[in-house]
Chains A and B, each alone.
Chain A
């Protein structure tokens, strides 16, 4: 079964401080991991995916298969980073389709 765990509902950091949003997953195969972000009054949108190995808006995330983690990191938080962040896992299910499982989300609050 697919499972995504985001242990923190709320993470408050000061502007300029490092940010780490935690994500752990449970999946027996080779998953594809994503981070989605939802800014206030905007729709859910993709931030980054592990296969791209990109840095988007200063954020990076490394897939650690040994620890089954996909933590999102940014060295210096900015006020505009305040948003809801969801970790998601995509992988084939028993039915043969690509099922996406989302975590419960972490609200990042950057304090000026």
Chain B
């Protein structure tokens, strides 16, 4: 298993554009979480999906949305990009929601630059 994979690796967009980031979890993992990591800060929670349903949302505007597919892969969408959306976007998968399965396995991230 290659672990959690994310695509693309890097992305450059201009203000006002829309972007879609993709994540494939570890085989067998049903939960995917998205984080935004701004330079110099820890990861900030954006969304968690489990069994294709949104189970949690952090303090991010409605411009951010996500979904999870039947194969448990996930997409993060950001509309009307702002300069402040420039960050590393991390995807993490875990086996489930309860304590026995909530260890997060992280992908390498997608570096988004908004010009």
Contacts and interface: CB of A to CB of B under 8 A. Distances in A.
Interface in A85-102: 86, 88, 90, 93, 95-102
B43 A98 contact: no
Given A44-B106, A93-B56, A105 B42 contact: yes
Interface string B87-106: 00010100001110011111
Interface string B28-49: 0000010100001111110010
Interface residues of A, number: 26
Nearest to A32: B99
B100 to A, nearest CB: 9
B99 A86 contact: no
Interface residues of B, number: 28
A45 interface: yes
A111 interface: no
A43 B108 contact: yes
Question: Which secondary structure dominates chain A's binding surface?
Answer: strand
Interface of A: 4, 6, 32, 34, 36, 43-46, 49, 51, 86, 88, 90, 93, 95-105
23 contacts: A43-B3, A43-B106, A45-B105, A46-B103, A86-B42, A95-B55, A95-B56, A97-B48, A97-B56, A98-B56, A98-B97, A98-B102, A99-B48, A99-B56, A100-B33, A101-B45, A102-B35, A102-B43, A102-B44, A102-B45, A104-B40, A105-B41, A105-B42
